[in-house]
Amino acid sequence: MVTVEYDSVKKAYGETIAIEDIDLTVDDGEFAILLGPSGCGKTTTLRCLAGLTDPTSGTITLDGHDVTDIHPKNRNIAMVFQNFALYPHMSVRENIGYPLKVADVSAEERQQRVEEVAEMLEIPELLDRDIANLSGGQQQRVALGRAIIRRPAVFLMDEPLANLDAKLKVSMRSRIKVLQREMDITTLYVTHDQEEAMSLGDKLIIMDQGNIQQIGSPDTVYHQPANQFVAGFIGSPSMNFIEVSRDGERITAQNAPDAFDVSLSTDVADRYRDHDEFTLGVRPQYFTVHTSEAANAIEATVEVTEPQGDEQIIEVEIGEQPISLTLVAPSTVDANRGETVWLTLEDELVHGFDNTTGDRIGEADSVARTGQATSTTGSQT
Amino acid sequence: MTTKQDTSADVAPYTEPSGFQEIHERLTDLGVTKVAVYAALGVFLVWSLFPVYWMVTATLKTRDTLLSFPPQWIPLDAQFGNYAQLFAQRPEFVTFITNSVIVTVVTTIIATTVGAMAAYAFVSFDYPYNLDFHLPFYILSTRFMPPIVTIIPLFVIFRGVGLVNTLRGLILVYTMFNIPFAVWMMKGFFEEVPESLVESAMIDGHTHLGAFFKIVLPLVKPGLIASAIFTTIITWNELLFAVILAQSAKAITVPVGLASFVTKFSVQWINMSVAATIALVPVLLFAFIARQQLVRGFSMGAVGK
């Protein structure tokens, strides 16, 4: 049970920078998720903590003790690998008990703790099987068992669910969450799957290009993205970005000023008082689709519809040099390819991003917006 | 381990049928019957094993029956006394066998150990200038030239440092010749062991060396055994270097001893056959015992990436 701290950690392989400057604190018992696209440095960040990769500079501390140059075996951490890394020449029992065997724990105690862990993971019947004869889900549980048996100070997981099929993923996900809560172990978990990250983590650490883009709760990163990258990365389908010009309360799309011309409410427009041009970010859910003409609406042509059950994803185009937008609408909306629809904005819920820095504009309004956004998504799902 | 397995139904991995069935089906399609296949295999078997049979039966014949025509296919009057006669006439042959055993065992142990450790280093560490990629090739390239080229310089050097006519000298030469093969053989096996296993072992409490001995070596056991068999066979049978570098009885090995039955005036066929048959036994025994370990190692379960 410890607090993990990264202080200006950098890792470079020659000219290639894997992580540039990581400052991060994970509190005691917290479930932190490192989330980002492939190659963003999330696994390197995790491996630096495990001791499997030596940082080029910076320090990592566990409860104030500098562990940067300490061998992995002396860090009291456990790790679950993407490919499970089970020892193929040992049985399930030997695999789970192996960390205790290396630590010279007596055979009886080892036996007893292996049984306990197996019970916890509901695999007691597998204990005497060979690793080669296990399915993916079973191997995954054995890997978890081997990690928790030592009751480590920190628990590391590197995409542990990536090799499982969708259904198994969901059930293993909840199992991991329950396990982490019960054992109350500080956990760092790497994934590129935002759904997994949102459902598991207390704290999300969004990374891109070797740097942390935002740290926050799942709600915060969804509703108050720090910048355009986070806004586009979190949420499915992705947020729509439109470069707009502002004139008072009216905003027009730069590529299609005639088609995209809407008035914002006064307080929303006031957020962007210092920006005449910015990038507007609208989640697909925050457009309302009308099949007849509406006031203050954008006229659009339907390109594709993808039914999803109770809702549908609609791709539309607006303007002469078409701007493509993705919308999510209830499946009751009758929109077909080639037809015209009218879109209104839930302007309280849109974001504006600075064209040069990519940062979100209008920090001050975030609280009011989050309150409303949460209730809106709540009623939709 | 089995990252590419189909987990959609979460069932144990599917095992491919062995290739034999496919070969069998294809032969059947071509109209080749079982009888024809076995006949062909039988001819091949006789072709391979007849010289060995002839050598072993020769040990039980007299000089007359051995060279008689038509040949005596089966020794009717077995002369077991031939074995006693060899050691009576050539008592130093016991020393030759002892020398061979010492040289072979020591060479095999050193070459396999050094080869395995070198191969592991090349596979798991990064060296500057991409040396982990280039060096194994340079090591293998030491075997490109015909061995005879090195004999004269080696002899001169060995005479200078007092290694001629010593077992140490032979062991040194054989180790040098076997390590490149051991490195290349073991390299392939180590490459099959996922890096995450070593990392996992280190997190579980091992040092890197501990992980190598406890986790990696057991997994590459088939490779170790294969390269040990290979080294043993090469060393046990080596004649060229032994004949030049070991000329006194204290360092002569079995192959040189065998060659000594061919003299200017006669060829001692019976003694030579007896000695060769005795020389065959240790390698054969070792190969048989090791082979069982080999099969057990391979069937232990796939080491996937």
Instruction: Yes or no: say if A48 and A210 are a contact pair by the CB < 8 Å rule.
Output: no
| Closest CA in chain A for residue B8 | A165
Express each pLDDT in B177-218 by its tens digit: 999 999 999 998 999 888 999 999 999 999 999 999 999 999
Band of residue B16 on the pLDDT scale cut at 50, 70, 90? low
Chain A closest-CA separation from residue B25 CA (Å): 29
Compute the distance between CA of residue A25 and CA of residue A3 in angstroms, rounded to an integer: 7
- Residue/partner pairs of B153-161 with CB below 8 Å, 24 or more apart: B154/B241, B154/B245, B155/B244, B155/B245, B158/B245
Residues B111 and B237 occupy one common structural domain = yes
Of B79, B108, B131, which marks where a domain is finished? B79
Mean pLDDT estimate for chain B: 85
Please give the pLDDT value at position A380: 38
Q: Are A30 and A181 in contact (CB under 8 A)?
A: no
Q: Are A58 and A196 in the same domain? A: yes
**pLDDT score at B248:** 85
What confidence category does residue B116 fall into, taking pLDDT thresholds of 50, 70 and 90?
A: very high
Domain assignment of residue A96, given as a range: 4-227
Identify the domain boundary among A227, A252, A285.
Answer: A227
- Out of A360-369, B142-151, B253-262, B296-305, which region has the weakest mean confidence (pLDDT)? B296-305
Q: Is A344 helix (H, G, I), strand (E, B) or coil?
A: strand
Residue A13: closest C-alpha in chain B: B126
pLDDT at B7: 40
Q: What is the DSSP-derived secondary structure letter of residue B30?
A: T
A62, pLDDT greater than 90: yes
Q: pLDDT at residue B304 above 60?
A: no
Which of A167, A202, A227 delimits the end of a domain? A227
- Do A151 and A240 share a domain, yes or no? no
* ipTM of this complex: 0.81
pLDDT in tens, A135-172: 888 998 999 999 999 889 999 999 999 888 888 888 88
Same domain, A191 and A236: no
pLDDT of residue B90: 86
pLDDT digits (tens, 9 = 90+) for A293-312: 888 899 999 999 999 999 99
Examine residue B155 and state whether it is found in any structural domain, yes or no. yes
Partner residue facing A85 (CB), from B5, B10, B194: B194
For B233-287, what is each residue's pLDDT tens digit? 999 999 999 999 988 888 899 999 988 888 888 888 888 899 999 999 988 888 8
* Interface contact B194-A132, CB threshold 8 A: no
What pLDDT digit, counting tens, does each position of B118-163 carry? 999 999 988 888 888 899 899 888 888 888 888 899 999 999 999 9
**Would the CB atoms of A79 and B12 count as touching at under 8 Å?**
no
Instruction: Return the pLDDT at A372.
Output: 46
- Cα–Cα dist B75/B85, whole Å: 18
Q: Looking at the structure, tell me whether residues A146 and A173 fall in a common domain.
A: yes
Give yes or no: residues B287 and B200 share one domain.
Answer: yes
Give the one of A72, A83, A99 whose C-beta lies nearest to B1's C-beta. Answer: A83
Position B99 scores a pLDDT of: 94
Clarify whether residues A185 and A266 are in a common domain. no
How many Cα atoms occupy the beta-carbon half-sphere of B37 within 13 Å? 11
CATH number at residue B193: 1.10.3720.10
Q: How does pLDDT run across B159-180, given as a tens digit for each residue?
A: 999 999 999 999 999 999 999 9
- Structurally, how many domains does chain A consist of? 2
Nearest to B199 among A52, A102, A132 (CB): A52
Same domain, B135 and B150: yes
Residue B198 lies in a domain: yes
CATH of the domain at A53: 3.40.50.300
Same domain for B59 and B199: no
What is the mean pLDDT of the segment spanning A322-329? 91
Instruction: Report the residue of B1, B4, B11, B200 to disrupt the A interface, i.e. the one with the largest count of A CBs within 10 Å.
Output: B200
Task: State yes or no: pLDDT of A369 exceeds 70.
Answer: no
Cross-chain Cβ contact B196/A77 below 8 Å: no
Which of the 8 DSSP states describes residue A91?
B
Domains identified in chain B, total number? 2
Task: Report yes or no on B237 lying in a domain.
Answer: yes
B305 in a domain, yes or no? no
Higher per-residue confidence, A252 vs A320: A252
Question: What band does A375 get if pLDDT is binned at 50, 70 and 90?
Answer: very low
Sorted by sequence, the CB contacts under 8 Å of residue B130 that are 6+ apart come out as none
Whether A322 and A288 share a structural domain: yes
Under a CB-based contact definition with an 8 Å cutoff, are residues A22 and A194 in contact? no
Kindly calculate the radius of gyration of chain B based on its CA atoms and give it in whole angstroms. Answer: 25
Q: How confident is the model over A193-203, as pLDDT tens digits?
A: 999 999 999 99
The length of chain B in residues reads 305
CB A74 within 8 A of CB A152: no
Give the residue with greater pLDDT, B9 vs A121. Answer: A121
Do residues A86 and A95 lie in contact, with contact meaning Cβ atoms separated by under 8 Å? yes
> Which residue of chain A is at minimal alpha-carbon distance from B15?
A133
Q: What does the pLDDT average to over B21-31?
A: 80
A96 lies in the same domain as A156: yes
Final residue belonging to a domain, choices B64, B79, B94: B79
Query: Are the Cβ atoms of A79 and B200 closer than 8 angstroms?
Result: yes
Pair (A257, A175) in one structural domain = no
**End-of-domain residue from the set B79, B105, B132:** B79
The range of the structural domain enclosing residue B251 comes to 85-298
Angle (nearest 5°) at CA A48 between A42 and A49: 100
B246 and B185 in a common domain: yes
Query: Which CATH number does the domain housing residue A335 bear?
Result: 2.40.50.140
Last residue of a domain, one of A180, A203, A227: A227
Q: Which of A84, A102, A137 sits opposite B204 (nearest CB)?
A: A102
- Dist CA A318 CA A139 (whole Å): 50
Same domain for A12 and A155, yes or no, is: yes
Same domain? B60 vs B123: no
- One domain, residues B75 and B89: no
* pLDDT at A133 (0 to 100): 86
Same domain, B95 and B62: no
Same domain, B113 and B187: yes
